[in-house]
Amino acid sequence: MRFLRSSSRPGSGACLALAAFLVPILDARPPNIIFLYADDQSSWSVGALGNSQSRTPAIDRLYAEGMGLTNAFTTTPVCSPSRAGLIASRFGTEIGITDYLNHSQEPDNGLDLSLPTWPKLLQAAGYKTAFVGKWHLGILDRFLPTNFGYDRFYGFRVGGSTSKDPQVEAEGVTRVVEGFTPDILTDEAIRFVRSAGSAPFLLSLHFWAPHANTSNRTPDGDRTWLPLRDVDWNPFRQLDVALPQPGYPRLDIPRAKRMMAEYLGSVASLDRNVGRLLAVLDELGIEDNTVVIFTSDHGFNMGHNGIWHKGNGRWLLTDNRGYRSNMYDHSIRVPAVVRWPDRIPARSTADEIVLNLDWFPTILAIADIEPPEGAVIRGKSFLPVLERQPAPWRRSFYGEYRQLHQEEVDLRMWRTPEWKLVRSSRPGMDELYNLRADPGEHTNLVDDASPEVRAIRAELETALRLQMQKIERRP
């Protein structure tokens, strides 16, 4: 801790006695919490997780100085329902947010104001709170982050934006801010940290990167991550990037390589800004009592199984750019790391399955705040996991995605470490994968007639049905 330093001057006995009295009080000060949230960032894009072409020194530093969660997942593979699960610890089908919010089609939809949220509970406990970046949980004023526990909001109500010169809202006024979007958001985050003073603070910095641009495209109308700062883009400008499945039939390799390079450049831009923020914590001497969390709203595909994008995937083939809705692991697995020097050992990992729904109770436990009595919280605190305390933990989990835009399909999933079952509302589109033998999910075994596979499918279907019934009969 860095809040109190004793004096070695002669006659300082009274000061030392006062210090001895105050140390327990100061040590009990709640930790600061910084929640860094990437958009569309995959686990495979992180250097510390094995990508030798990715440039993520700041995120790699968090893994070196904290605990990496090797089996972190989101229960839904698209933006808005995943973010709702993060804030409220509820499944999208429970609260009416099952796909990304398309505000032109559903302007009245947003996160239910009656739901308890962990930022609101931290705010009530005396935390200074700020939300910086992408919200995407409702476009009307009543859905603003300031109604869910944040003192300040600086960023975007909607999902889509641009990598340069974005329109940013601050204190009810929206204006174009010149510069690159990750830099602009981090500038504001740093201003908040510097102004926090002695009170504990919560900073939610929800980057928009590495999401592809929506408001500008390539000359032929394709999606792009450009423009980027030269420092972020130059390492990839001429790089012959590796693809995960270059032999996939009819894969559009030139397009895939162009997109992969731009995506990694966008990841680098985010990472550089994570480094800027970490440097400020070091400068202020508050890194020991600041919990830094880095994760993503969902995963991403870039040529994996012939698609790009997330749960509402698009074919990346020479003859097909249509949709491929999915619950692939690359869409639901996320990078996740927690650094808390006062409590968590460096260079440590945990293999337990943790979900986006678990952040709510975990952050409350970190701040030593009790959850609201009677509240429905689907997640479970994994603070014991972080502190390596023995505790019973889940071995399987439920996921869902009800796609409403582009194509309509309802997907429900049950996943164990060994198997994954995906039930689809479309006839003949169910999937079953042996994750031990086939981690890339290339071979669908749903029609396998062997007794062993049929028994496993029946077991997974029973677990899936019971979980769906549990959700439907609770408020």
How confident is the model at residue 18, as a pLDDT? 47
Percent of the chain residues topping a pLDDT of 70: 93
Q: What is the pLDDT of residues 307-323, one digit of tens each?
A: 999 999 999 999 999 99
Determine whether domain 31-390 maps to CATH 3.40.50.300.
no
Q: What is the pLDDT of residues 354-404, one digit of tens each?
A: 999 999 999 999 999 999 999 999 999 999 999 999 889 999 999 999 999
Distances (CA, A) of 178 to 160, 166, 181, 182, 266: 17, 7, 9, 12, 18
CATH 3.40.720.10 in the chain, residue ranges? 31-390
**Whole-prediction pTM:** 0.93
Confidence of residue 53 (pLDDT cuts 50, 70, 90): very high
How confident is the model at residue 8, as a pLDDT? 35
Minimum mean pLDDT among 45-54, 211-220, 446-455: which range?
Answer: 211-220
CATH number of 408-475: 3.30.1120.10
Mean pLDDT throughout 207-220? 93
Q: What is the pLDDT of residues 66-77, one digit of tens each?
A: 999 999 999 999
Q: What is the pLDDT of residues 432-464, one digit of tens each?
A: 999 999 999 999 999 999 999 999 999 999 999
Judged against a pLDDT cut of 50, whether residue 20 lies above it is answered with no
Confidence of residue 96 (pLDDT cuts 50, 70, 90): very high
Judged against a pLDDT cut of 50, whether residue 61 lies above it is answered with yes
CATH 3.30.1120.10 in the chain, residue ranges? 408-475
How confident is the model at residue 27, as a pLDDT? 52
Confidence of residue 29 (pLDDT cuts 50, 70, 90): confident
